[in-house]
Structure 1
Amino acid sequence: MKKTRPADIYLRFLQLSQALRGLPTLPELDPLEERILALIARAGQTDERLSVRDVMANGDLGAPATVHNRLKSMRQKGWIMLADTEDTRRKRIELTQAALMHFDRLSQCMLSATESRR
């Protein structure tokens, strides 16, 4: 029996996750939008309240205007939504139900990749 390397599992995961892109779901994100999505998802996991201003102030993502345009695009594509905060001038960013389902499907791909190689 062929020995499975950790890289084999990761490559299998990539193959399975690529197949998700062919399914009719949310529109694709560009690389910067993917980075922003990961930031928002990680903040949600730690119950951190991330506002539009917080994301725009993140210098690693680029100019504030560029980040704002990407947030607007992600909202139009259905990946994120804005929720009110105590301060009506600030909006909290949250993942949509469709985005959460996308992460659920990616998690299933990860589980499948590990199970198929045992």
Structure 2
Amino acid sequence: MTRPADIYLRFLQLANAVRGLPTLPALDPLEQRILEFVARAGQAGQSLCVRDMIGHAEFGSPATLHARLKSMREKGWIELADTEDARRKQVELTQAALRHFDKLSECLVKATKNR
């Protein structure tokens, strides 16, 4: 009999294969957490500005957050969109990042079908 943990482990195996594809440069663990935070905010329909993210201690100091956002932008994972206030930038996923999450979703579905 297959244990429920086997599904999750199969998903991790498939997700590792997706992360190894040369679509976008790899993220470090903090950048991965930031990416997931931005994705969850977008899924919930929330606008997310850089200033909003500074208040989250798990992202480190404002300088650390700014450095990671700059890196993620250069790697093609996020973009900073203008708002009505030119001093504020909205953080959004790029189309490539959205395709990455689509591929991870496919991995999850595939893992559950291979029980």
**TM-score if structure 1 supplies the norm length?**
0.95
Residue 50 of structure 1 aligns with an amino acid whose one-letter code is L
Task: Please tell me whether residue 82 in structure 1 is matched to residue 80 in structure 2.
Answer: yes
**Structure 1: which 5+ residue stretches go unaligned?**
none
The equivalent residue for 1:53 is 51
Moved >6 Å (runs of 4+)? none
**Structure 2: which 5+ residue stretches go unaligned?**
none
Deviation, 1:45, is 0.4
Matched residues in 1 for 2:42 and 2:20: separation? 27
Matched residues in 2 for 1:21 and 1:105: separation? 9
The equivalent residue for 1:33 is 31
Report % sequence identity.
Answer: 68
What is the CA RMSD across the aligned residues, in angstroms? Answer: 0.7
**TM-score if structure 2 supplies the norm length?**
0.97
Matched residues in 2 for 1:24 and 1:55: separation? 28
Count residues in correspondence. Answer: 115
Q: 1:27 aligns to what SS in structure 2? A: coil
Higher-Rg structure is 1
